[in-house]
Structures are given as C-alpha cells and as structure tokens.
C-alpha cells in the first residue's frame, strides 16, 4: 500500500511534545524523572500561593492628631528649618484630609489629579482597601457617603460595579426602579340591563296572549257574528 501524503507535516514543536508525552508515560527511569519534575513544579506553585495567602494586608491608618499638627507645620513652613515628620512618606499612614476619600478623576490640566501628587497617591493606594475592609454599619455608611458625593460631582463614569451597587446607582438597579409601561386595557362594554317588569304585569301579558290565541282559534272554527259571538272567549 502506498504511503499517504501528509498535507500538513508536523512541526518540530509538535514532534517534541509528542516525544515528551511518550517518555512521561513510560514506567522506566526517564518517565519517573519527568513526572517528578512536574510534581516539584506543582509543589513550588502551591508553596508560592500559600505564602501569598499568609501575608496579611498592610495595616493602613489615619494620621493621629500629633502627626497631623507636625505635618501641617512642615508643609506651611517658610523658613525651611522645619523637620519632615517621620510618617510623612509612609504610604500606610494617610492624611486626615485623604482618609476614606475616593481618588479624583485624572485631568491633564490639573496636577493635583496626577498619581505623583501625594494626596492623589494616598487616595489611589488606600481607597480600594478601605472599601474592602469596611465591615461595621458605620464604616459602610461612611464609604457610601463618600461614593454619593463622588457620584454627584463626577457621575458614574469612574466608578466600578461594586461602588455603584453600594449607592443603588448600578444600571440594573436603576432599570428596576423604572415603572414598566402598562398598555391601557380596552374598555369593557357592559350590555345595558333590561328594565325589570313587575310580576303582575307579566301575568297580565301572558293572560292576554292566551286569550288572543283562544279567540283566534274560536273565530276560525265558528266565525265572529251571530250565535258564535256568545261562545267567544272573553
């Protein structure tokens, strides 16, 4: 039988992959070494994941009263002699003014919105953490108030789905608030009721109908004049 022509010859990579699979399935030393390498890789990955889980999130706090006073004195010093506070460049100690504040939207014409700005940098580095760790009703209320202010000032453009849901402004929530358009139903036509006839009147009418029929039958049988009129029903 002639050998079938392969229109799609295997690449060197495909050939190498097949060879590796073949070796891995063999019960000899080569297969065992390959499987051991795979298991070592898997163990190392698990260790890295576990180590990452074990590292607690950095504890971020608001500057205390003393730190705030020292910072303000340093920032507004005109003599150049004020000493920089020890906490000034600490990313985990947030200014009083920046605590639980959402970052401002970036604008090319506003340097205060640049990530290099210390206030903007603190907001960028701590806001997501503030939202994540808010557990008590009071903490969640403070976050919602901040989000509401941001929404009123900038709109929903720079807010993620979670933030929008926290203040009831997610598109799905807004859609649910819109009352559905109800198609007006067709008016129900009520047939006019026939006037109710007193029972006495009905009896009278039935008696007249019966008398009329009897008279017609009598007239057809005996005629109307002469003696026949004496026996005609009345």
d(CA 71, CA 86): 9
**57-83 residue pLDDT tens:** 567 888 999 999 999 999 898 888 888
Helices (H), the chain: 12-25, 29-54, 65-75, 118-133, 137-154, 161-166, 171-177, 199-222, 228-231
**185-203 residue pLDDT tens:** 777 777 777 777 788 877 8
| pLDDT for 23 | 57
CA separation, residue 146 to residues 97, 104, 130 (Å): 13, 12, 11
| pLDDT for 113 | 82
Per-residue burial over 6-22, b = 16 or more CB atoms within 10 Å of its CB, e = otherwise: eeeeeeeeeeeeeeeee
Residues belonging to the chain: 234
CA separation, residue 95 to residues 16, 67, 116, 130 (Å): 58, 9, 16, 14
In the chain (234 residues long), the average pLDDT of successive 10-residue segments reads 48 58 57 59 53 61 91 88 88 86 82 83 79 83 87 82 86 80 74 75 80 78 72 75
Residue spans per domain, the chain: 13-54, 61-177, 199-231
Nearest to 99 by CA among 55, 47, 134, 48: 134
């Amino acid at each position: 039988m002639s050998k079938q022509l392969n229109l799609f010859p295997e690449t060197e990579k495909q050939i190498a992959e097949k060879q590796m699979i073949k070796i891995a399935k063999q019960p000899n030393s080569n297969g065992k070494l390959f499987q051991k390498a795979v298991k070592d890789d898997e163990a190392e990955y698990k260790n890295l994941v576990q180590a990452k889980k074990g590292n607690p999130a950095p504890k971020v706090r608001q500057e205390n009263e003393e730190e705030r006073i020292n910072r303000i004195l340093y920032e507004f010093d005109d003599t150049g002699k004020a000493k920089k506070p020890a906490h000034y460049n600490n990313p985990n100690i947030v200014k009083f003014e920046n605590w639980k504040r959402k970052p401002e939207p970036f604008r090319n014409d506003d340097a205060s919105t640049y990530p290099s700005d210390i206030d903007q940098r603190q907001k960028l580095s701590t806001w997501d953490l503030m939202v994540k760790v808010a557990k008590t009703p009071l903490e969640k209320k403070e976050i919602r108030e901040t989000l509401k202010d941001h929404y009123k000032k900038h709109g929903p453009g720079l807010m993620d789905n979670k933030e929008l849901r926290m203040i009831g402004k997610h598109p799905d929530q807004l859609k649910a608030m819109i009352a559905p358009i109800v198609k007006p139903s067709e008016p129900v036509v009520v047939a006019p009721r026939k006037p109710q006839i007193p029972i006495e009147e009905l009896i009278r009418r039935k008696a007249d109908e019966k008398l009329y029929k009897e008279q017609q039958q009598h007239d057809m049988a005996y005629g109307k004049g002469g003696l026949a009129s004496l026996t005609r029903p009345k």
